[in-house]
A and B are shown apart, each in its own frame.
Chain A
Amino acid sequence: MSRKKNKNSIPLDFSEKLVLGLSNTILTIFALVAILPCLNLFSKSVSIGPAVTAGFVYFWPNGFQLETIEYVLAKTSFLTSLKNTLIITVAGTAISMFTTITTAYPLSKPDLSFRKLFTLLYVISMVFFGGIVPAYMVVHTLGILDTYWACILPFAIVQFNMFIVKNYFEGLPSEVMESSAIDGANDLRTLISIVLPMSVPVLATVALLYAVNYWNNYFHAMMYTNSTAMRTMQLYLYDIISNSQAFAENLFTTSYGGTMSVNVTTDGMVASAVGLSIIPIVLAYPFIQRYMVKGITVGSVKG
């Protein structure tokens, strides 16, 4: 062994080895616990029907078929609910970002008149809730029950997200904004051409927080919509899981492509539907991973 190598890698003592070994083992178990249920689900969605009903699917497909996934896509309202959720997520995130930015920017100005009062309003609404029933009555009164608006507008501004953006704006160097004002730019111009380009990471984080919230929302969609045409992804998934027995009966009364396939089982359908809904999240994950970690640390604790 050369001297140089020895210097760079000091041999580990017993306690270091033990901690390293324990950490590796326990965290590997944790990672398996996180991922194996998902593998089981994906395997179930493409395994042959008899294996699924008998419970003989573990972490690898038992046989292979795509009929269940085809059935879910063609014969259930998966695509309608996907469309609804996409509309709500895209439109909702755009509206929320607009409201969040236009609120956070003025509130980040230390010399804004009545700044404390405005901020206090947002803080109060964060800690005191009207509750489920009054919120429902408001949406009912506005006449937007069973529309996309009912799933979007209650989240037009989430106070917590607004404060993340506001704190970030406050941390930007004020000289840049001042020099822009001296150059004759008004507040809107400064916001658009100076502040926003400097805030891309935090804006991406908050946009993600909003998008995940819209995408995953179950309760509000359930409370505020009732028609099948308005059903969102999460409502559809809940229906298919909790009514899988009713679906089973349907499977026998309606024919699939002329003949009933043994491969389309209720458990397989649940697995396929949930599996399909996981795919967009997995695809967006590199992006989520990049901005979310930063976002949590920005948002969780205010020094």
Chain B
Amino acid sequence: MTNPIPRKKISLRRTLHNKLVHIARHPLLYLMLIPGLFFLCIYKFWPLYGLQMAFRKYSIYAGSNPMDSIAKSPWVGTKYFVKLFRSAQFSLVLKNTLIINGMKIIILFPVPIITAIMLNEIRSAMYKKVLQTTIYIPYFFSWVMIFGIFYSLLGSYGMLNTLIVKLGGTRIRFFTSTETFRGLLVFTEGWRETGYNAVIYLAAIVGIDTTLYEAAKVDGANKWQQIWHVTIPGILPTVVLMLILKVGHILDTGFEQVLIFYNPAVYDVGDVIQTYVYRLGLGKMDFSQATALGLFNSVVAFVLIVGANTLSHKTLHRSIW
């Protein structure tokens, strides 16, 4: 038996040596890593360095280029955060973000689950394929295209308003009314995402052991009981994982949709954190203030995502990374 301390030292040195040997033997593997790391550093990590703008009075012309200007701008501490947390606009956009994404989770979350369960019940393979394909296709449309489609359908002289007038109602301004705007966001989100999410649940349903259904049938379970006692418990881990992820991303989803759909008439109900960051930063050129709000958003989102992942790892032994 040797003394454990030198042994540890030797093994440490040996690991390092082994690592270097591996690099020397497989130089191509390490060369391959370069392009990815290069883009990662420039487009993902360099912006992180830029976050200090939130603590400086940033002037874009202070240095020789916009990133150089960061170090040349004076520190102001937490001035922009104090200003931010005191502003009425901050609580408004935070509230809107939570309400809109909360509504989406509460109303839309069960829809693809039910859709997948129903798709699994369809007997005709061909009709099942037709249904699945049709429900799935809107996922590949961009938000601008969906905006165009619904603008055409729900606009003042769109088909729906023609029908409403025919039935004796008055025209509804879906895009500019504060009463309908959030509903419009939730509906179009469901329109786009239901098929995509249903495919995920359908894959989980297909993975359920078919002997469980046979056993349930032998025990005299009818279709409802089979769905309730076999299908739903079978997909429950996937359901919980998806729910955790959705809640984890409650602050940072739906930005592009809002940016495209909203207009000044509905800012009170539709303006979310990211759209406000965008208008503040690239519209009003209030770069430091916008970065401060962006940083707040990133930190909270980070905590939520890591928390959600840890939770799913602990409870379900599954994680996204």
List residues of chain A with CB under 8 Å of any chain B CB: 13-16, 18-20, 22-24, 26-28, 30-31, 33-35, 37-38, 40-41, 44, 53-58, 98-100, 102-103, 105-107, 109, 111-114, 118, 121-123, 125-138, 140-142, 153-154, 156-157, 162-163, 186-188, 191, 212, 215-219, 223, 234, 237-238, 241, 267, 270-271, 273-274, 277-278, 281-282, 285, 288-289, 293, 296-297, 300-303
CB-based nearest B residue for A100: B36
**Out of B148, B191, B255, which one reaches A34, CB within 8 Å?**
B191
B14: interface (CB < 8 Å): no
Given contacts A19-B227, A123-B321, contact A55 B40 (CB under 8 A): no
Report A-chain residues with C-beta under 8 Å of the C-beta of B50: 130, 133-135, 137-138
* B46 contacts across to A, CB distance below 8 A: 130, 134, 138
Give the Cβ gap from B237 to chain A, nearest Cβ, in Å: 9
Given contacts A223-B282, A293-B199, contact A132 B274 (CB under 8 A): yes
> Which of the residues B42, B191, B274, B321 comes within 8 Å of A163, measured between beta carbons?
B321
Main secondary structure of the interface of A (DSSP, over half): helix
Docked CA distance A156–B255 (Å): 22
Q: Are B39 and A237 in contact (CB under 8 A)?
A: no
Q: How far is the CA of A208 from the CA of B231 in the complex (A)?
A: 31
Residue among A125, A130, A153 with the highest chain B CB neighbour number at 10 A: A130
The answer, yes or no, to whether B203 is at the interface (CB within 8 Å) is yes
Q: Is the CB of B281 within 8 A of A133?
A: yes
- Docked Cα-Cα span, A127 to B321, in Å, equals 10
Using known A-B contacts A13-B222, A131-B297, A218-B143, determine if residue A186 contacts B134 with beta carbons closer than 8 Å: no
Complex Cα–Cα for A38 and B28 (A): 50
Task: Report the separation of the CA atoms of residues A156 and B40 in the bound assembly, to the nearest whole angstrom.
Answer: 9
Excluding A24-B122, A31-B135, A136-B282, 20 further A-B contacts by CB distance (< 8 Å) are A23-B121, A26-B118, A27-B131, A35-B134, A37-B149, A44-B152, A54-B157, A107-B33, A109-B26, A113-B20, A123-B321, A130-B48, A130-B298, A137-B47, A138-B43, A191-B32, A218-B260, A281-B141, A285-B137, A301-B318
Q: How far is the CA of A296 from the CA of B140 in the complex (A)?
A: 13
Residues B145 and A153 in contact, CB atoms below 8 Å apart? no
Q: Bound state CA distance, A302 and B40, in angstroms?
A: 23
CA gap between A241 and B277 in the complex, in Å: 24
User: In the complex, which residues of chain A have a beta carbon less than 8 angstroms from the beta carbon of B118?
Assistant: 22-23, 26-27
Q: How far is the CB of B305 from chain A (nearest CB, A)?
A: 5
Q: Which residues from chain A contact B19 at a C-beta distance below 8 Å?
A: 113-114
Does the CB pair B28–A187 fall under 8 Å? yes
Min Cβ gap A276→B in Å is 10
* In-complex Cβ contact of A41 among B40, B65, B67, B152 (8 A): B152
A237: which of B37, B119, B145 is its contact (CB, 8 Å)? B145
A131 and B291 form a contact (CB under 8 A): yes
With beta carbons under 8 angstroms apart, the residue of B29, B60, B122, B162 that contacts A55 is B162
Residues of B within 8 A of A57 (CB): 159
Q: With A27-B122, A216-B142 as given contacts, are A121 and B302 in contact (CB-CB < 8 Å)?
A: no
Pair B159/A40 contact, Cβ less than 8 Å: yes
CB-contact partner of A31 in B23, B131, B319, under 8 A: B131
For B187-225 the 0/1 string (1 means CB < 8 A from A) is: 000010011100110010000000000000000001111
**CB–CB A274/B43 < 8 A:** no
Any A CB within 8 A of the CB of B241 = yes
Q: What separation, in Å, do the CA atoms of A27 and B174 have in the docked complex?
A: 26
CB-defined A-B contacts under 8 Å, sample of 28: A15-B222, A18-B223, A19-B223, A19-B224, A20-B123, A23-B119, A30-B115, A31-B130, A31-B134, A33-B191, A55-B157, A102-B33, A105-B32, A118-B33, A125-B40, A127-B306, A130-B48, A130-B49, A132-B277, A135-B43, A153-B43, A186-B28, A219-B255, A223-B282, A234-B144, A267-B157, A282-B137, A303-B318
Residues in A neighbouring B35, C-beta threshold 8 A: 98-99, 102-103, 156-157
- Indicate if the CB atoms of B144 and A238 lie closer than 8 Å: yes
Bound: A182/B110 CA distance, A:
53
The answer to whether A38 and B196 have CB atoms under 8 Å apart is: no
Chain A residues within an 8 Å CB radius of B143: 216, 218
B223 touches A16 (CB 8 A): yes
For B277-308 the 0/1 string (1 means CB < 8 A from A) is 11001100001001100110110011001100
B144 close to A218 (CB less than 8 A): yes
* B121 CB contact (under 8 Å) in A14, A20, A157: A20
Please give, as numbers and ranges, the residues of chain B lying within 8 Å of A278 by CB-CB distance: 141, 145
B41 to chain A, nearest CB (A): 9
Contacts of A217 in B (CB 8 A): 142
Contact yes or no, B318 A15, CB < 8 A: no
Contact with A along B96-135 (1 / 0, CB 8 A): 0000000000000000001100110111000100110111
Q: In the complex, are the beta carbons of A297 and B36 less than 8 A apart?
A: no
Residue numbers in A under 8 Å from B70 (CB-CB): 137
B81 at interface by CB-CB < 8 Å: no
